[in-house]
A and B are shown apart, each in its own frame.
Chain A
Amino acid sequence: DAGVIQSPRHEVTEMGQEVTLRCKPISGHNSLFWYRQTMMRGLELLIYFNNNVPIDDSGMPEDRFSAKMPNASFSTLKIQPSEPRDSAVYFCASSLGSGNTEAFFGQGTRLTVV
């Protein structure tokens, strides 16, 4: 299996622009997670889906952030409008269960908002 695939790997955008991060989970996994990693706050869970349904989005920082999972093989995380404080590495992960099995991570998207 190819593992969790994220795109793009790097994104530099100007403040105010819309940013869309993409994720393809491992085939057969029914849970998908979006995490954000910064030096100050570590790894933060933003949202997770179970069987394409959002289960817990309490970690989404603001209304500027939204996530969708239209089918079992694709998810997006959108930031609109982006701000410099959104600069971070965003990880997508998938697992067979939502927290009782190991999650496998993509390589991350490094987002820089200038």
Chain B
Amino acid sequence: AQKVTQAQTEISVVEKEDVTLDCVYETRDTTYYLFWYKQPPSGELVFLIRRNSFDEQNEISGRYSWNFQKSTSSFNFTITASQVVDSAVYFCALGALNSGGSNYKLTFGKGTLLTVNP
């Protein structure tokens, strides 16, 4: 079975602070995919990044960076110099083969509510 755990339910920071959102996953597959999505107060879900299990290279995109550690089954997300507009719920997701082994199934964590205060 596949599982995604986001242990931090809520995080509150002051603008310009750096913040890291944790994500731990479980899967027996050797090939799998990891994602982060953002859900701002308006409610839509916005795709941020995808990584596959064979690519452990960390990625940076502007103020966003992702740290993929296969050894600890973690895919953490860091926002540098946070801004009020970063306030949202952030979801980590895992794409792994379903029980039939024929198709990938996308499973989401429960999300982390990030509040950035001015």
Contact = CB atoms under 8 A, between A and B. Distances in A.
Interface string B92-118: 000111111011111111110000000
Interface string B24-35: 000000000101
Given A55-B100, A56-B100, 7 more contacts: A35-B108, A42-B108, A55-B102, A99-B97, A99-B103, A99-B104, A101-B33
Most buried by A among B44, B96, B98, B106: B106
Interface of B: 33, 35, 37, 43-47, 50, 52, 91, 95-100, 102-111
A43 B35 contact: no
Contact of A99 (B99, B106, B110): B106
A98 B111 contact: no
Contacts of A82: none
A65 interface: no
A17 to B, nearest CB: 24
Interface of A: 33, 35, 42-43, 45, 48, 50, 55-56, 89, 91, 93, 95, 97-105, 107-108
A35 B96 CA distance: 17
Given A89-B43, A99-B33, A101-B50, A56 B98 contact: yes
Contacts of A56: 98-100, 103, 105
18 contacts: A42-B110, A45-B106, A45-B108, A48-B105, A48-B106, A50-B103, A55-B102, A56-B98, A91-B45, A97-B104, A98-B104, A99-B97, A101-B50, A102-B35, A103-B106, A105-B44, A105-B45, A107-B43
